[in-house]
Amino acid sequence: MHEFALAQAVVAEVEKIVEKGYRVEKLRIYLGELQSVDREVFEQYVSMMLREVQENVDVEYVDEEAEFSCRVCGYKWSLSELELDEDEREAIHFLPEAVYSYVKCPRCSSRDYAIERGRGVRISIEYSE
């Protein structure tokens, strides 16, 4: 279950800050649409693991929509504009870079595009002494 591994990685970053003697005030977790994280399961893991590192951390979860930009024609679009079947979505869930196999620019049909947002999980941490 990749939610467990993702939660471990997030909490490990918090732990590094706490070990340096800082108090984590706010943890903002951005969940990229391409990662297809089961948010409920992920939140439970983060909550459970975080309690072992530091109590009373304000955690905010932010869903980040996948956005793309074509390097050929400059068109920008989101994943929600596309019609992908369940098998394609599942393949992208396990390997976000698989999106290049299933998606092309809606305007020029190029597969030369950048994933601008919504890939993976990233965090922002606010802390004090």
Q: Which pairing describes strands 76-78 and 67-70: parallel, antiparallel, or unpaired? A: antiparallel
pLDDT tens digits along 46-66: 999 999 999 999 999 999 999
pTM of the model: 0.83
Closest CA to 10 of 55, 58, 45, 62: 45
Instruction: Report which of residues 29 and 2 the model is more confident about.
Output: 29
In this structure, are residues 14 and 58 in contact, taking their beta carbons and an 8 Å threshold?
Answer: no
pLDDT at position 91: 87
Average confidence (pLDDT) over 18-28: 97
Q: Show me where the domains of the chain are located.
A: 2-128
In this structure, are residues 28 and 124 in contact, taking their beta carbons and an 8 Å threshold?
Answer: yes
pLDDT tens digits along 2-21: 899 999 999 999 999 999 99
Q: Which CATH class is domain 2-128?
A: alpha beta
